[in-house]
Structure 1
């Protein structure tokens, strides 16, 4: 069995835009996760999700990995962007659009 940190690291490396959330992009299981999904869809971002409710080790592991206490958590180009409040603020200021438009790498 692979440890949660390795699984998280692999997901972040394999997916340019990776969202750790409650539920999934089709059926978010909390309002904060739903809000981030809607913002990403608004920007036309291609993104993958991981439902932290399906794996308690990943749910805790992502909090330890980022040193951020809440879910959802968004990663772009391997870097932690933030949770719902930060993503919403970046959306409102236009910074998220710039980040998502930037070529990978």
Structure 2
């Protein structure tokens, strides 16, 4: 496992909610990342760790390899890969996202 893969694994297991995104929660740099942050906040997430993939090309590619998922943003809850903004939106609408974050 590469250093980047190890770092990603440590990050997603050490924090309850981790969002790999373009930009930051305060200044998202793509519409999907912005939507993902809004969904998490609306679902009641308070302790969100955001990782700006634009700051590090190795992390940007590494997270895609780690999850075997081609797009950013990517949400992890309690170390498990949940999905991107479309999946998050579906889960938010069904109430599943709020339930997942409360557990």
CA distance in structure 2 between the aligned counterparts of 1:95 and 1:76, rounded to whole angstroms: 12
Partner of 2:35: 35
Q: Which sections of structure 1, spanning at least 5 residues, go unmatched?
A: none
- The range that moved more, 39-48 or 88-97, is 39-48
Aligned 1:1-105 pairs, distance under 5 A = 3-45=3-45, 46-102=47-103
Higher relative contact order by CA 8 Å / sep ≥ 6: 1 or 2? 2
Question: TM-score scaled by structure 1?
Answer: 0.93
CA distance in structure 2 between the aligned counterparts of 1:10 and 1:51, rounded to whole angstroms: 16
Moved over 6 A (4+): none
RMSD, matched Cα: 0.9
